[in-house]
Chain A
Amino acid sequence: MTDFLNAIVLFSNFVLVPGLAYGSQLALGALGVTLVFGILRFANFAHGDTMAFGTMITILITWWFQSMGINFGVLPTALLALPFGVVLTALFVVGTDRVVYRYYRERKTEPIIIVMVSVGVMFVMNGLVRFIIGPNDQRFADGQRFLIKAREFKEMTGLDEGLAIRSSQALTVVVAVVLVAALFWYLQKTKTGKAMRAFSDNEDLALLSGIDPDKIVRVTWIIAAALATIAGVLYGLDKSFKPFTYFQLLLPMFAAAIVGGIGQPVGAIVGGFVVAFSEVTITYAYKKFLIYLLPNEWAPSGLMQLLSTDYKFAVSFIILVVVLLVRPTGILKGRLF
């Protein structure tokens, strides 16, 4: 029995807990991608850098708060700075829409051209972030680091394996749940939310029934910016902030959005967890786990690792390719990409 518990704890520590946190971060990011795709009808390549931009603003405000001695007790100060980060990022993104995307939207430009435009926006934001905060790692996490420490868990339970839960991981999951619930309520129950869904289903019909397209576009960008900033800050708190890694997140986020069914908010969440858990479970070495579960004579001598951790990013690619080949609309029927 102890062996069984040890195996469960081991699996939770290295697969379940990190996977849940990473999945929540990806889900929030993919939600933003899918919303923009569903309503504005293009794949926004600048989303990863919107995350970096929002996180950068939040970090700068966090540092300012910290220098004034303001903190949030056991919670990270960044949470206090987050609302300001969201507002400023939303302003910036809505401004980008005014200056860049509106021009193409009014001309009813082909979506693929707008995608290329978003690549341009991505490079500009990319440079802006590096110019302001630099390309290096930035630490801004404070407050209590752990909910449960591995060592304490071992002493508490008497098991051989420890379970560590960082406060940032717990925070990520809680915030993601709250945010997703709020977003769905907004999309289902409010007038603007319903209008957004109508606009997404059939643009012409929505315009005929008197929906203000400018407002829909604005609200979509604000929500996307808020999701990106929050996802970015949670990722930064949990791991670390470096502009380049945010750019790299683009791939798993798109994979998540497409796997789940692009344009489908529920799909983005499902996709986020599918991608995160595939990455973690495929690159985990199961040797120790199996030693606990199997009788001694069956104990594996190899590492029982399907894929080396070097290939973590390849997993997103593989999922993307397989889904596009087998079920191009994604798990929940989304649009064709």
Chain B
Amino acid sequence: MKKLLLATTILAGLSASAFAGEDEIKMGIILGFTGPIESLTPGMGDSAELAFKEASDSGILLGGKKIVAIRADSTCIDAAAATAAAERLVTADGVVAIMGADCSGVTTAIVNNVGVPNGVVMISPSATSPALSTIEDKGNFFRTAPSDARQGVVLADIVLGRGIKEVAITYTNNDYGKGLSEAFSNAFKAKGGTITITAAHEDGKADYSAEVGALSASGAKELVVFGYLDQGGKGIVQSSIDSGAFSRFIFADGMIGQAIVDAIGDDLIGSFGTAPGGDNDGAAKFLEIAKGKVASDGKGPFDGNSYDAGALIALAMQAAGSMDRAAIQAKVMEVANAPGEKINPGELAKGLKILAEGGDIDYVGATDVEFNDVGEVFGAYKELEVVKGKFDTIKIH
């Protein structure tokens, strides 16, 4: 048995090196294939691989090379396991760049421990923590998902734009809720709004009447809820409506969904909020090409971002004209931002060709990618309002 095992291992090792021929480019995909977001990651992984395949099939990527994607598990929550997995990708597999990671905590760990020391480019499709904006990444880290700080600012503008000057805030007691709440408060106060009270709530409790009592005593008429629609956020809204404490609510993305409209009913009409997502042609084009090829048909919340992350790596490599890690890093911003020919999903071959001929492109992709100076997208947000029985998109910010 032991011998058999040994033989298989040697064979596997041999075959792995045998496959890594001259014409292949190894690319890492590190996502939480197990853990809290394991239902989302298969679609995200497929989307990135779809972009890699498109680039490979064009036949002109670095003169006809093929990308081989190697998947690794970030677990979403275990920083040590994620770091070990990323370390393996970079040192043992020798990938040229990494698509990932997904959750903000593990992403921070990988950037600090693996990405920066090895000079590997990482493009995360879904890490949204504001803390990642100021990380010491030496230009190695990019993300195609907008920072939550941005959502706070957009939401503050919308609230003030509707003539609401005074609000109470409740947030779910974790990094997501706290980060959003701080971003919103700062923007809201800076623009002349007043926040009467900011109170955290714990998820998974049976009764939120005490929390609602304190929130309503502050005297605000509108309540901002940074929580989850199937958790404490729902409890707060239900309890507020029951006791007549608040009748209009302001939501961020965690609270937007059909489930809450169904649960609360007509009392929610007039409440509004924001959720990420644009309305560009790219999104529709991506859905077209992803249909049948991606686990979730491209409809998952971060599938478009994942495709874009994969595509950007391939395009930057082409622009650099080599598989050198540092050369790739230097070109990411250039291919993502204007000026240049606009490239949509499904048009990677066109982009690669322009780059091969020395031209300049502006990758738009599924999510309207445009990086700011720290390498994260500005991000588009939908303003939604509850009308009879559903959320309606009012406009895009």
Contacts and interface: CB of A to CB of B under 8 A. Distances in A.
B207 A284 contact: no
Scoring A13, A153, A291 by chain B CB atoms within 10 A of each residue's CB, the highest score goes to A13
A312 interface: yes
Contacts of B202: 310
Given A13-B243, A14-B243, A149-B244, A287 B217 contact: yes
A265 to B, nearest CB: 26
B266 interface: no
Q: Is the interface of B mostly helix, strand, loop or mixed?
A: mixed
A312 B209 CA distance: 11
Contacts of A166: 242
B216 interface: yes
A14 B216 contact: yes
A151 B242 CA distance: 10
A305 B216 CA distance: 12
Interface stretch (A238-246, A253-261, A321-329): A238-246
A310 B204 CA distance: 13
A279 interface: yes
A150 B206 contact: no
Nearest to B202: A310
Given A303-B218, A308-B199, A310-B200, A280 B210 contact: yes
A132 B250 CA distance: 37
A283 interface: yes
B285 to A, nearest CB: 38
A238 B209 CA distance: 11
Nearest to A279: B210
Contact of B210 (A146, A240, A289, A309): A309
B242 A283 contact: no
B211 A309 contact: yes
A164 B214 contact: no
A154 B244 contact: yes
A285 interface: yes
Interface residues of B, number: 25
Interface string A76-110: 00000000000000000000000000000000000
A235 interface: yes
Interface string A121-162: 000000000000000000000000010011101100000001
B338 interface: no
B59 interface: no
Contact of A164 (B199, B200, B235, B242): B242
Interface string A24-43: 00000000000000000000
A284 B206 contact: no
B197 interface: yes
Select the residue from B199, B200, B212 with max chain A CB neighbours within 10 A.
Answer: B199
Given A13-B243, A150-B243, A303 B217 contact: yes
Contacts of A241: 206
Interface string A306-321: 0011101000000000
A15 B213 contact: yes
A240 B206 contact: yes
Contacts of B244: 13, 149-151, 153-154, 162, 164
Contact of A285 (B205, B209, B214): B214
B213 to A, nearest CB: 4
A305 B200 contact: no
A242 B217 contact: no
Contact of A309 (B214, B216, B242, B243): B214
Contacts of A242: 204, 206
A289 B207 CA distance: 22
B219 A284 contact: no
A87 to B, nearest CB: 25
Interface in A197-250: 235, 238-242, 244-245
A287 B209 contact: no
A23 interface: no
Given A13-B244, A150-B243, A280-B210, A244 B204 contact: yes
A286 interface: yes
A239 B216 CA distance: 19
Contact of B217 (A280, A288, A310, A312): A288
Given A13-B244, A151-B244, A309-B199, A285 B213 contact: yes
A334 interface: no
A267 interface: no
A18 interface: yes
A303 B220 CA distance: 12
B204 A285 contact: no
Contact of A305 (B214, B242, B245): B214
A33 B211 CA distance: 28
A308 B211 CA distance: 9
Contacts of A239: 206-207
A287 B218 contact: yes
Contacts of B218: 285, 287-288, 303
A303 B197 contact: yes
Interface string B160-199: 0000000000000100000000000000000000000101
A238 B235 CA distance: 12
A285 B217 contact: yes
A280 B243 CA distance: 15
A150 B213 CA distance: 14
B206 A14 contact: no
A146 B243 CA distance: 10
B242 A286 contact: no
A46 B200 CA distance: 31
Given A164-B243, A287-B218, A14 B200 contact: no
Contacts of A287: 217-219
B216 A288 contact: yes
Interface of A: 13-15, 18, 22, 146, 149-151, 153-154, 162, 164, 166, 235, 238-242, 244-245, 279-280, 283-289, 291, 303-305, 308-310, 312
Interface of B: 173, 197, 199-202, 204-207, 209-214, 216-219, 235, 242-245
8 contacts: A22-B207, A154-B244, A242-B206, A283-B214, A288-B218, A303-B197, A309-B201, A310-B202
Given A164-B242, A241-B206, A286-B217, 16 more contacts: A14-B212, A18-B209, A18-B213, A149-B244, A150-B242, A150-B244, A151-B244, A154-B244, A162-B243, A164-B243, A240-B235, A283-B214, A288-B217, A291-B219, A303-B197, A305-B217
A-B pairs, 9 with minimum CB distance: A150-B244, A285-B217, A162-B244, A239-B206, A14-B213, A245-B206, A285-B214, A239-B207, A309-B210
